[in-house]
Amino acid sequence: MLDKRFRFINLFNNFIKSSVLTREKMVNYFLPTRRTYEILGWILLIVLIISICNFPLMIFMNGQISADTTLNIGWPTTFFRINLTTPDAFPIITFPLIISLIAYTLVAYSFDVVIGFFMRKFKQSKENKTLAEQVQLAQTNVKTEQIIQKTPEIDPVIDQAKKAYSYYTSQGMKEEEVISMFKQKGWKDEDIKKLK
């Protein structure tokens, strides 16, 4: 009975540890970065450009300013309004400004999270690719080292002696004469066996 309880406790502890690790990894995905503020700035710039494009510039240039000619900035709600006939009025509308800034911040934050997620996935796939290339390179290096170890090293002196041995035997000298000639030069029987 106690063994079952200990197994359950151990299983529960492992579940808690794995969920904490997963939670720590997931928290990194949802932390705002400097990119969030950059995206927020771009959103505000785009809203400003759209609002200025909606301004009736030709009416203003012709001098036909009426009481309802205003410069409205803000999307989806106008949070900055300048009435051209009465410029003394306070241009900022507080509640729509707060709502718009909260909406823009949420949009910028969600863009940052999505961009960060894809950038991490791209970086991981790139790291995995380079890791696979490194493993493949290491395997080919090991294979070439094994091949190098299997192939015996050819001594250049023995190589030249083999050529000389085959030359003298092809010229008609007897094998005993060639061997005695090598022995006179100081060659041992073990080295002479390598020549054959």
Q: How far apart are CA 112 and CA 101, in angstroms?
A: 16
pTM for this prediction: 0.51
Percentage of the chain with pLDDT > 90?
Answer: 14
pLDDT in tens, 167-180: 778 878 888 887 88
Given a cut of 80, whether residue 126 has pLDDT beyond it is no
Percentage of the chain with pLDDT > 70?
Answer: 67
**Could you tell me which residue, 157 or 37, shows the higher pLDDT?**
37
Which pLDDT score, from 0 to 100, does residue 103 have?
93
Distances (CA, A) of 92 to 79, 80, 171: 6, 5, 111
**Which residues make Cβ contacts (< 8 Å) with residue 155, sequence separation at least 6?**
none
